[in-house]
């Protein structure tokens, strides 16, 4: 994926003066909102974080609850803000995952998971530790949902929120940082004949445990992380598991090694009222269940920008470097839009950039220059044949992106060991999806990481 092109115009940030302390609203207290709040406060801004849940951690707060509509189509359903399943372990090693100056190291304590690819509860505890260490929880208004964000005539931002008791609050802020996550609004595949197909359906957002799939013939749609992991989770109890993939990548179609009841197919072409599911390669399966592991939509139901920002085919735009809408920068910004990335360290860099831009320490280009950059980026995607839905998909280009933002913030570039560890893990994940979390060969990189982490230790231990 090409990088956006303004780097040639903006090799180093320009300092502006004087520095300004702003009143900033942050939407969400997940990993993105927590680190945004820390960086904004470090920069001297006054911060209020709005969180609709009753605790920090965002999607890492596991719940066995699922939504009333298993496909997530009902716009009036009560949204469950997590897409975790019970068995979920991280798909990144902990050394890569953590924030730079608060490494995700092994800690003693009840319920802690010392594994290199730990369970979701360990990630939640890590985020809770982060919030405690930097005093973030005191900035958060829990059980308070942002219902409206809109620009005022004087350039300030109107933020309307509602607490659990239904009490509405209407306030004015200098800036809003949107960190509402993008893994709660299901995206579904169109399947010809689905309205007359008699089986059950669900989106992976509502998948928790494999038990309901016992002895069933299950079709999963998708070929990314959810489909790969959940198909294995279900294969332990189901009669047959068939994965239908639109983009197969380097996976091989047919029976999957290590399993006697797991197959990979091309995409579904149609389904019938007698329960048949027909794949594009002509194969046919009588199935009981279709599980859509088809990812999520960006969704900002509270945001009113009068057309300055739109979501179309999974592209949020226009956004300069995936962070600032040119017409509304720096007052409106987004943390966490890119995907196929190592999220937490990227969120940290984006947050530093936003905090510096809001205080006037870091200059942004003019609106016209930002817009020109976005257009050039879109053209470069088109020229490489990259579909619009992949606009925010980064993969290998994330390192250049991170280093570019780090240069804007005048902070250290991304660690080389971290790039290599991520690269090695990504490769092993595809080659050995069953074992990569428990067997690895990059111990040299683990040692380099541990050496690096010593820089952030106080009196021989990390902050508790």
Ligand X SMILES: Cc1cc2nc3c(=O)[nH]c(=O)nc-3n(C[C@H](O)[C@H](O)[C@H](O)COP(=O)(O)OP(=O)(O)OC[C@H]3O[C@@H](n4cnc5c(N)ncnc54)[C@H](O)[C@@H]3O)c2cc1C
Which residues in this chain contact ligand X in the complex, by CB under 6 A? 27-33, 50-53, 58-60, 81, 83-84, 90-92, 97, 145-146, 179-181, 183, 302, 336, 343-344
CB nearer ligand NAP, residue 112 or residue 187: 187
Q: Select the residue interacting with ligand NAP from 222, 326, 336, 365 (CB under 6 A).
A: 222
Q: Peptide bond preceding 278: is omega within 30 degrees of 0, i.e. cis?
A: no
- The one of ligand X, ligand NAP, none whose footprint includes residue 97, by CB under 5 to 8 A per kind, is ligand X
223 binds ligand NAP, rule: CB under 6 A: yes
Report in angstroms how near the CB of residue 224 gets to ligand NAP at its nearest. 3
CB nearer ligand NAP, residue 11 or residue 247: 247
Q: How far apart are CA 307 and CA 286, in angstroms?
A: 46
DSSP classification of residue 461? B
* Both tokens assigned to 63: 């719940």
* Both tokens assigned to 320: 């300069």
> In Å, how far from its chain's centre is CA 422?
16
Q: How far apart are CA 2 and CA 18, in angstroms?
A: 35
Q: At what angle do helices 443-453 and 416-431 cross, to 10 degrees?
A: 140
- The one of ligand NAP, ligand X, none whose footprint includes residue 157, by CB under 5 to 8 A per kind, is none
CB nearer ligand X, residue 126 or residue 213: 126
- CA angle, 414 then 347 then 58, to 5°: 140
Question: How many binding residues for ligand NAP (CB under 6 A)?
Answer: 23
- The one of ligand X, ligand NAP, none whose footprint includes residue 231, by CB under 5 to 8 A per kind, is none
DSSP classification of residue 153? T
37 neighbors 58 (Cβ within 8 angstroms)? no
Q: How far apart are CA 440 and CA 98, in angstroms?
A: 19
Report in angstroms how near the CB of residue 344 gets to ligand X at its nearest. 6
119 binds ligand NAP, rule: CB under 6 A: no
Which residue in 445, 3, 436 sits closest to 225, CA to CA? 436
Report in angstroms how near the CB of residue 349 gets to ligand NAP at its nearest. 18
Report in angstroms how near the CB of residue 427 gets to ligand NAP at its nearest. 15
Report in angstroms how near the CB of residue 30 gets to ligand X at its nearest. 2
Q: How many residues does the chain have?
A: 464
371 binds ligand NAP, rule: CB under 6 A: no
271 neighbors 289 (Cβ within 8 angstroms)? no
CB nearer ligand X, residue 242 or residue 437: 437
End-to-end CA distance of the chain: 39
Touching ligand NAP, residues 15-54 (CB under 6 A) = none
Report in angstroms how near the CB of residue 52 gets to ligand X at its nearest. 4
Q: How far apart are CA 390 and CA 380, in angstroms?
A: 12
- The one of ligand NAP, ligand X, none whose footprint includes residue 72, by CB under 5 to 8 A per kind, is none
Site residues, ligand NAP (CB under 6 A) = 88, 90-91, 183, 187, 189, 204, 221-227, 229, 246-247, 267, 293-295, 339, 389
């Amino acid at each position: 994926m090409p990088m956006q092109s303004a780097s040639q115009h903006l090799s180093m940030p320009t300092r502006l003066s004087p520095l300004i302390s702003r009143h900033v609203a942050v939407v969400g207290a997940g990993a993105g909102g927590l680190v945004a709040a820390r960086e904004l406060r470090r920069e001297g801004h006054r911060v209020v974080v709005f969180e609709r849940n009753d605790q920090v951690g965002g999607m890492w707060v596991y719940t066995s609850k699922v939504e009333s509509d298993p496909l997530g189509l009902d716009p009036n359903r009560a949204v469950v803000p997590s897409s975790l399943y019970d068995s979920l372990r991280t798909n990144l090693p902990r050394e890569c995952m953590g924030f730079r100056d608060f490494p995700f190291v092994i800690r003693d304590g009840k319920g802690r998971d010392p594994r290199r690819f730990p369970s979701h509860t360990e990630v939640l505890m890590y985020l809770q530790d982060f919030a405690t260490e930097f005093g973030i929880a005191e900035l958060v208004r829990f059980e308070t949902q942002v219902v409206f964000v809109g620009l005022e005539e004087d350039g300030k931002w109107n933020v309307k929120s509602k607490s659990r008791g239904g009490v509405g609050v209407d306030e004015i802020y200098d800036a809003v940082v949107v960190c509402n996550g993008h893994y709660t609004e299901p995206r579904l595949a169109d399947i010809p004949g689905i309205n007359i197909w008699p089986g059950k359906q669900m989106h992976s957002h509502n998948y928790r445990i494999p038990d309901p799939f016992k002895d069933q013939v299950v079709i999963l749609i998708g070929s990314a992380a959810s489909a790969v992991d959940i198909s294995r989770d279900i294969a332990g109890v189901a009669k047959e598991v068939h994965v239908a993939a639109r983009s197969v990548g380097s996976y091989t179609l047919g029976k999957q090694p290590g399993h006697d009841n797991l197959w990979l197919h091309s995409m579904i072409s149609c389904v019938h009222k007698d329960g048949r599911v027909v794949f594009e390669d002509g194969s046919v399966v009588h199935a009981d269940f279709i599980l859509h592991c088809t990812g999520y939509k960006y969704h900002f139901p509270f945001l009113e920008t009068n057309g300055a920002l739109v979501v179309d085919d999974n592209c949020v735009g226009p956004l300069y470097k995936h962070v600032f809408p040119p017409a509304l920068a720096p007052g409106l910004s987004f943390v966490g839009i890119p995907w196929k990335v190592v999220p937490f360290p990227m969120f940290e860099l984006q947050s530093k950039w936003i905090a510096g831009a809001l205080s006037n320490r870091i200059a942004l280009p003019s609106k016209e220059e930002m817009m020109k950059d976005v257009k050039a980026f879109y053209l470069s995607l088109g020229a490489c044949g990259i579909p619009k839905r992949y606009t925010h998909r980064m993969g290998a280009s994330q390192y250049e992106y991170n280093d570019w933002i780090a240069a804007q913030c005048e902070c250290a570039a991304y660690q080389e060991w971290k790039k290599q560890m991520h690269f090695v893990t990504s490769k092993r994940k595809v080659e050995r999806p069953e074992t990569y979390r428990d067997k690895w060969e990059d111990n040299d990189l683990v040692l380099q990481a541990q050496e690096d982490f010593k820089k952030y230790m106080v009196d021989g231990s990390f902050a508790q």
